[in-house]
């Protein structure tokens, strides 16, 4: 059932089997998986269903290093978490592009420092299959040849695969509905965690201290705690807990922050007037089974393994012709943008359905979604400033390193060469990728050795008996894909593990 945290205030102590901190996809999937097995679960969510400015202000933080959108802009506190920020159009809904990590992402690559997971793709595969259903998308199949006619690039590096599209509602609504009906779940909104209490040994968390608007702080006592607040907040919670005596391994705590930079340096000028029909597979479209997909050019594992290229994927986004862009700018100023959308589209997906492609579009941006390799220098620490609850705000120290950019430069050349048969490729060699995919990962990385990670293969914090972490913060490497499918798969796996314990 849903509960307003303000009704639980007044210094009360709430008891439960498992306390889940955060109601984004990771926390909701863990909570439902445990609730279905009869466990008593209490979920803490700082926000509620509606967007409240005072709550979002708690996402404030500082950024040092390269230009970045900021911690407030890239996070969201609400039931459903940062899915509220998703902006990929899917019919009349918004959602995200889905794909799993690949085999190569789980491997230790000798030339990529700090790579390698303590689990394999094959071990996670059963939960990936389950995650497809939880996310409300199609079958667990991402090879392009299984979905339709593809372009044969005849090159050794690129292969055709697909993204699946899924709406926010398909993922979040069933989870919230099931937890709202469950009698063994308390889904608490307006409940902000401000710290974990720790026993004298430092090996067990004994309480979660919570604040709700207008009432005194209250406490949750649980047998086990799952921290599921996102990569920035997960690091912050454990850094605060370490200061309170929790014996968490701190050598990597907060380190290894990763994003998914997006590069737009390549432009394709097609040779054929019929390109938009021949290459329609690479535009967003509905497959025969009803799944919404888009074809993409992926880098083969063999080309990544030696470390000279990053893992990456290329999609084709139409570029509005300059004259169309001018018309749209005028229409926007007078509030008539909706009237020109049909005959003067802005670009992006949907180009294969446009009748007069050459008049409306000025070629295609080859959008590269990129892997960023883990670096201990990219990290989250506790800042000097404090939020309205007196808790230190997070400080992100982030850079796009020279080695990553060198891999990107080589990738641009390879993609341009292998797609040259489609048309003329232009390269803006001095372009810098945009880091603002809002895909935070890596700050509580998974590793079998506590000197090289924060959690073990089952997401338990090293050295601590009853604190677990869910979400992309446990990723040792993050590939290039939107992390939500892997987040959901790992959360389902964690729920199974916690029940078995």
Angle CA 52–53–57, to nearest 5: 125
Read out DSSP for 373-439? Answer: ---TTSEEEEEEEE-TTSPEEEEEEE---HHHHHHHHHHHHHHHHHTGGGEEEEE-TT---B--S--
pLDDT at 245: 97
pLDDT band of 140, cuts 50, 70, 90: very high
pLDDT band of 84, cuts 50, 70, 90: very high
Residue 126 makes CB contacts below 8 A (sequence gap 6+) with none
Please tell me whether residues 232 and 266 are part of one structural domain: no
Please tell me whether residues 315 and 422 are part of one structural domain: yes
For residue 34, what is the enclosing H or E element? Answer: helix 25-35
Read out DSSP for 235-255? Answer: HHHHHHHHHTT-----SSTTB
Establish if 71 belongs to a structural domain: no
Establish if 385 belongs to a structural domain: no
Establish if 389 belongs to a structural domain: no
Handedness of CA 242, 461, 486, 443 (dihedral sign): positive
Please tell me whether residues 233 and 293 are part of one structural domain: no
| pLDDT digit string, tens, across residues 350-374 | 777 766 666 677 889 999 999 999 9
Average pLDDT on 323-331 reads 68
Please tell me whether residues 222 and 311 are part of one structural domain: no
- Any idea how long the chain is? 501
pLDDT band of 153, cuts 50, 70, 90: low
Please tell me whether residues 280 and 356 are part of one structural domain: yes
| pLDDT digit string, tens, across residues 264-275 | 999 999 988 778
Which runs of E-coded beta strand occur in 87-131? 88-90, 93-98
CATH at 446: 3.50.50.60
Report the C-alpha gap between 22 and 44 in whole angstroms: 6
Establish if 295 belongs to a structural domain: yes
pLDDT at 355: 65
Note whether 126 and 140 are within 8 A (CB). Answer: no
Establish if 114 belongs to a structural domain: yes
pLDDT at 11: 85
Average pLDDT on 154-158 reads 84
Note whether 432 and 262 are within 8 A (CB). Answer: no
pLDDT band of 415, cuts 50, 70, 90: very high
Q: Is the pLDDT of residue 3 over 70?
A: yes
Establish if 81 belongs to a structural domain: yes
pLDDT band of 116, cuts 50, 70, 90: very high
Domain boundary among 392, 417, 434: 434
| pLDDT digit string, tens, across residues 210-244 | 999 999 999 999 999 999 999 999 999 999 999 99
pLDDT at 92: 85
Average pLDDT on 384-389 reads 96
Average pLDDT on 454-480 reads 98
Q: Total domain count for the chain?
A: 2
Among 117-131, 285-299, 307-321, the minimum mean pLDDT is found in 307-321
Identify which of 256, 257, 276 has the alpha carbon closest to the alpha carbon of residue 268.
276
Please tell me whether residues 179 and 269 are part of one structural domain: no
Please tell me whether residues 280 and 180 are part of one structural domain: no
Note whether 446 and 475 are within 8 A (CB). Answer: yes
* Residues of the domain holding 188: 2-57+76-139+169-252+441-500
Residue 280 CA to its chain's centroid (Å): 27
Q: Is the pLDDT of residue 441 over 90?
A: yes
Report the C-alpha gap between 257 and 251 in whole angstroms: 14
Please tell me whether residues 230 and 356 are part of one structural domain: no
pLDDT band of 108, cuts 50, 70, 90: very high
Q: Is the pLDDT of residue 197 over 90?
A: yes
pLDDT band of 321, cuts 50, 70, 90: confident
Please tell me whether residues 315 and 449 are part of one structural domain: no
Q: Is the pLDDT of residue 307 over 90?
A: no
Identify which of 384, 417, 416, 377 has the alpha carbon closest to the alpha carbon of residue 400.
377
**Percentage of residues of the chain with pLDDT beyond 70:** 94
Domain boundary among 414, 434, 454: 434
Q: Is the pLDDT of residue 327 over 70?
A: no
Q: Is the pLDDT of residue 20 over 90?
A: yes
Please tell me whether residues 37 and 130 are part of one structural domain: yes
Q: Is the pLDDT of residue 97 over 90?
A: yes
pLDDT at 384: 96
Higher pLDDT, 116 or 92: 116
Identify which of 424, 293, 387 has the alpha carbon closest to the alpha carbon of residue 60.
387
pLDDT band of 338, cuts 50, 70, 90: low
Please tell me whether residues 326 and 425 are part of one structural domain: yes
Beta pairing class for 312-320 and 347-348: antiparallel
Report the C-alpha gap between 285 and 223 in whole angstroms: 47
pLDDT band of 393, cuts 50, 70, 90: very high
SS3 301: helix
Establish if 283 belongs to a structural domain: yes
Note whether 419 and 230 are within 8 A (CB). Answer: no
Please tell me whether residues 210 and 309 are part of one structural domain: no
């Amino acid at each position: 059932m849903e509960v307003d945290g303000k009704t639980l205030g007044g210094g009360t102590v709430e008891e439960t089997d498992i306390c889940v901190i955060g109601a984004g996809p990771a926390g909701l999937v863990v909570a439902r998986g445990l609730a279905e097995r009869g466990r008593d679960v209490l979920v803490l969510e700082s926000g509620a269903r509606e967007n409240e400015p005072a709550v979002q202000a708690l996402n404030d933080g500082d950024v040092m290093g390269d230009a970045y959108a900021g911690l407030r802009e890239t996070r969201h506190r609400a039931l459903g978490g940062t899915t509220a920020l998703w902006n990929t159009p899917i019919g009349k809904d918004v959602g995200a592009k889905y794909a799993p990590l690949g085999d190569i992402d789980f491997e230790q690559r000798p030339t990529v420092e700090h790579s390698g997971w303590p689990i394999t793709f094959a071990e996670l595969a059963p939960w990936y299959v389950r995650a497809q259903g939880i996310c409300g998308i199609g079958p667990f199949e991402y090879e392009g040849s299984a979905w339709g006619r593809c372009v044969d690039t005849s090159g050794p590096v690129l292969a055709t695969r697909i993204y699946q599209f899924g709406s926010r509602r398909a993922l979040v609504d069933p989870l919230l509905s099931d937890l709202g009906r469950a009698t063994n779940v308390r889904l608490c909104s307006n409940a902000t965690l401000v710290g974990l209490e720790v026993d004298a040994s430092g090996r067990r968390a004994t309480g979660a201290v919570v604040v709700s608007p207008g009432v005194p702080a209250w406490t949750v006592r649980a047998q086990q705690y799952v921290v599921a607040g996102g990569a920035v907040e997960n690091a912050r919670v454990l850094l605060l807990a370490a200061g309170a005596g929790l014996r968490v391994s701190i050598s990597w705590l907060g380190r290894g922050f990763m994003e998914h930079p997006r590069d737009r340096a390549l432009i394709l000028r097609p040779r054929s007037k019929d390109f938009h029909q021949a290459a329609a597979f690479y535009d967003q479209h509905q497959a025969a089974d009803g799944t919404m997909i888009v074809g993409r050019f992926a880098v083969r594992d063999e080309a990544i393994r030696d470390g000279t290229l990053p893992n990456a994927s290329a999609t084709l986004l139409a570029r509005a012709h300059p004259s169309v862009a001018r018309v749209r700018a005028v229409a926007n100023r007078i509030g008539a943008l909706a009237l020109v959308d049909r005959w003067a589209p802005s670009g992006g997906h949907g180009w294969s359905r446009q009748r007069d492609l050459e008049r409306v579009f000025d070629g295609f941006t080859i959008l590269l979604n990129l892997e960023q390799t883990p670096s201990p220098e990219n990290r989250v620490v506790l800042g000097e400033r404090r939020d309205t609850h007196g808790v230190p705000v997070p400080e992100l120290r982030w850079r796009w390193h020279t080695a990553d950019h060198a891999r990107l430069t080589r990738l641009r050349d390879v993609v341009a060469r292998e797609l040259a048969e489609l048309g003329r490729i232009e390269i803006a060699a001095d372009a810098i990728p945009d880091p603002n995919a809002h895909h935070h990962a890596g700050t509580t990385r998974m590793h079998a050795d506590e000197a090289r990670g924060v959690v073990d293969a089952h997401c338990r914090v090293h050295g601590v008996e009853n604190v677990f972490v869910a979400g992309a913060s446990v990723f040792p490497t993050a590939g290039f894909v939107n992390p939500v499918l892997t987040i959901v798969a790992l959360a389902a796996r964690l729920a199974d593990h916690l029940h078995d314990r």
